[in-house]
Amino acid sequence: MSSSAHSAQRTAHLRLGRIGYINCYPVYGAIDRGIVPVPAGLVTGTPSELNDLLAAGELDLSVVSAVEYARNAAAYHLLPDLAISCDGPVQSVCLFSRRPVEELDQGTILLSASSRTSVFLLQLLCQDLWKVRPRFAEARAEAADLGTLAGLPHDAVLIIGDSALVLAGRGTYPHRYDLGEVWKRWTGLPFVFAVWAARREADHARVQEAHHALLESRAWGLGHVDELATQASGVTGVAIPTCVEYLSGLDYSLGYKELEGLTGFLRRLAARGMVREGALAFLSVA
């Protein structure tokens, strides 16, 4: 496990993954506060860390990148009605560029090492929408490292999570492309960045209990966005109104429109050999 991923000190039957970014506050806020009990120990990490831990069997269920589910669908069940998506701007997945995106052909784009879905989405947009072929270079760019970007040779950089909110407020780059907004304009559909998945061999009854707890915690979180935004502002330094707008703009359900957007995205990737094509398999619920 990476040093930045850590387990909560509690006795549990399941290991439940959570992203440390503030976008997970509405789902985990009541669990963190002890308002909603969950039969699991929490493991916090970046999206890519949780992807790897679930694939290795070090977690029983977790929030994971949508692409990660598609890559390992045979090993996972999706948890129904639970995702992180947007139907328009997402604010926390952005391409920051020194020049217009149409001029990035053969330019260098630094990629966040933290989200496979965001990287695949950017590559798809470059190929099919913007018609440019940039050079991609992986570079971890978390909030604490944003100051080092100026010293790296690049024309644009993909930033996700809290760091994107921080960088947007600095005005460092003249061009900012919100990938959720770009996808919506291109397809007319929501974009699903993350889903909750459980390993198929995990205890079914316990996973169902955890699923119910996550849904109950989400209901509490959506009713306490102002409280969560105040907490998020304290953690990130982003203004409270911006945090309220951000958290209120995300969708944590997985309805028909979101599923249409998700399957459309995965079909486009499958057509390019980036993931295997297949049907979504959901956990049966009691």
pLDDT of 284 reads: 79
Domain-located, residue 156:
yes
Share of the chain above pLDDT 90, in %: 75
Relative to beta strand 61-65, strand 191-199 is antiparallel
* Residue after which a domain boundary falls, among 153, 187, 221: 187
* Residue after which a domain boundary falls, among 160, 187, 214: 187
Report how far residue 55's alpha carbon sits from residue 266's, in angstroms, rounded to the nearest whole number. 19
Say which CATH number the domain at 102 has. 3.40.190.10
pLDDT of 113 reads: 66
Domain-located, residue 237:
yes
Q: Which domain holds residue 161?
A: 93-187
> Could you tell me where the DSSP H helices lie in 3-113?
25-32, 47-55, 66-71
- For 163, the 3-state DSSP assignment is helix
pLDDT of 271 reads: 92
pLDDT of 179 reads: 97
Report how far residue 18's alpha carbon sits from residue 190's, in angstroms, rounded to the nearest whole number. 22
Task: Let me know: does 63 contact 35? Beta carbons within 8 Å.
Answer: no
How many folded domains does the chain comprise?
Answer: 2
Residues with pLDDT less than 50, the chain = 1-12, 141-144
* Residue after which a domain boundary falls, among 139, 165, 187: 187
Contacts of 194 (CB under 8 A, 6+ apart): 19, 47, 63, 64, 65, 66, 83, 84, 117
